[in-house]
Structures are given as structure tokens and as C-alpha cells.
Amino acid sequence: MIISQKLGTAELLFRCAEQMGLRPIWVTPNGVFSIMADGKERYINQSRSPLNPEASAGLAKNKYLTRVILQRHNMQNIPFALPRTFGEAASFLQRYTKIIAKPITGANAHDIHIITEVAQLEALEITKYILEKYIAGKEMRYLLLNGRVIGVHRSEYGTSVEETRPLQRISYPKALWNPELVASSLRIADILDLRFAAIDYLVDASGEAHILEVNTVPGLKWFHAPSNGPVVDVARLLLEAILNDMPYETPLAYRMLATSAVKTQ
């Protein structure tokens, strides 16, 4: 499914379901929709992938728990702290001189603060944030589905994560994927028991990669309509994976029907 518009994730999935002959119907506006699979109504919720166990998704959503688990496995973590007091936060800032404060369970780059002065910490309810060392570099996203990387792109944010700015996503052909980051991403997915996730990295000026974030409900629009580079039909791949997990009476025949419907569009 080739999409020229940068549609939201739910709408991309809905349109793909239409092409696959799944007769989607919105249950909530631009969020949850039903499909017909093997004669039964089933539901797709774009904010919660059924491919990921609930416990694993919960761990990955909590930025602090994700950092702790990655640290236990000696992955490429960014130095971090979960301050219990203002003094602990101030000490972390003193050690690294430039840090980032993120909500522990935040999403979509909301409420992120670059901190260089103690006075900036005073404006925050500090126990609700995880602190990380600031690292300058290019941001890379590796998208995984069922044990393989299916797409890679670079995010161009401009100069600051705090400012409103034009966002570009440059999609990379497979020949340019970093094999070390492919392996690292697969390892992270295995550690956290995730079947669908995006692993974000910061690659610094020396070429060293640091794990920025693990996202279990990544947006799909930039893979379908990147600023530049190859298109990845993630919506179709994701729906096919979800369908293959459903308890069909005749799964093989249905999968062949779904695949045929996609090819004829």
C-alpha cells in the first residue's frame, strides 16, 4: 500500500484493512476499529499492539525500567538517574553539565527539557522525570517485526528537542543498515520479549551508538511517506502478522485470500 499523505497510524491501518478485504468499521474515532476475520468481528487498537505481551509493553513504556533492564544486559545505555530528591537531580546535573529530563512514562517527545542550570530543575516536579546525560548525534530508528528489522530511518529534528521545528525522516535502503545496530535491536527485542517495536539510537560524532528509547507503539506514517528514501508498507506487514496470530478455523486459506487482496489493489 503506497500512501503519499502522511496519515495517522490508525487511519493507515484502517485503509490497509479495507484493501485486504477485512471490512473495517470505526469503533472509536480514529482509534479502535473492527475487522471481519474468518467470519468473526475482531478489533484493532493502534495504541496497543497485540503482538507484544502486556507485561513487556508495560516495562518498555516505563523509561526508567527500560534503562535498568538494558543496563543489566550490558547494552549501549545512556547514563541515567531517577532522582528521589532535588539534591540527587542537582548532583546528576553537576556530574554531566548538560542533561535531559523526560517524563518516566511520556511519549511523542512531549514535556522534554534540556537542562544546563540548577534553576531549570527547580521548575520541575523532579520525581516524575528520568534524567539522562545529553548526547549530541543523529537519531536512527530501527523497526522490528517478528524477529527481523523491516525498516530503518534517520530523524532530522533541527537543533533542539524542545522547540517546534520541521521534522524530516530519511528512510534507508537495506544496503545502508548498520549490521551492529540490526543485531543490537534484535537483542533488545529479545530481552524485552517484544515482537513489534522501534529501537531508537543516538549515533555520536565518533560513530558510537547509544540506545535512546524503545517504543512498542511506534507511528507508521513516516515509513509509508518518508521525506526521502524507500517506502515500507508497515501497515500491511503489521496487519498480516496480527491476522496470523488469530485463531482461524482455516488460517492458511484465509492468509492466501488476504495476500491476494493486497496484490490486486
Task: Specify the DSSP element, H or E, that contains 86.
Answer: helix 86-96
Are both 210 and 84 inside the same structural domain? no
Q: Is the pLDDT of residue 80 over 60?
A: yes
Specify the number of domains making up the chain.
2
Task: Specify the DSSP element, H or E, that contains 144.
Answer: strand 138-145
- Cell 492458511, residue located: 252
At 256-265, the pLDDT tens digits run 444 444 333 3
Are both 143 and 173 inside the same structural domain? yes
187 domain-assigned: yes
Are both 158 and 204 inside the same structural domain? yes
Are both 163 and 181 inside the same structural domain? yes
Are both 69 and 106 inside the same structural domain? no
- Residue at which a domain ends, from 64, 99, 133: 133
116 domain-assigned: yes
Tell me the residue range of the domain where 60 lies: 53-78+136-216
150 domain-assigned: yes
The lowest-confidence range among 51-55, 189-193, 194-198, 250-254 is 250-254
Burial 40-71 (b: 16+ CB within 10 A, else e): eeeebebeebbbbeeebbebbbebbbbbebbe
Beta bridge partners of 170: 154, 228
161 domain-assigned: yes
At 198-208, the pLDDT tens digits run 999 999 999 99
CATH number at residue 101: 3.30.1490
Which pLDDT score is estimated for 111?
Answer: 83
Are both 147 and 72 inside the same structural domain? yes
100 domain-assigned: yes
Q: Grade residue 101 by pLDDT with cuts at 50, 70 and 90.
A: very high
Which pLDDT score is estimated for 49?
Answer: 87
Looking at every residue in the chain, the average pLDDT score rounds to: 87
CATH number at residue 183: 3.30.470.20
State how far the Cα of 53 lies from the Cα of 67, in Å rounded to an integer. Answer: 19
70 domain-assigned: yes
Are both 197 and 73 inside the same structural domain? yes
Secondary structure of residue 91 in the 3-state scheme: helix
37 domain-assigned: no
At 115-146, the pLDDT tens digits run 999 999 999 999 999 999 999 999 999 999 99
| Distances in whole angstroms, Cα of residue 66 to Cα of each of 54, 171, 182, 199 | 15, 26, 19, 12
Are both 111 and 97 inside the same structural domain? yes
Are both 67 and 147 inside the same structural domain? yes
Percent of the chain surpassing pLDDT 90? 74
Are both 195 and 122 inside the same structural domain? no
Are both 205 and 120 inside the same structural domain? no
Which pLDDT score is estimated for 72?
Answer: 97
pTM: 0.87
DSSP 208-239: -EEEEEEESS---HHHHS-SBS----HHHHHH
Are both 95 and 201 inside the same structural domain? no
The three three-digit cell numbers of residue 70, written as one number: 538494558
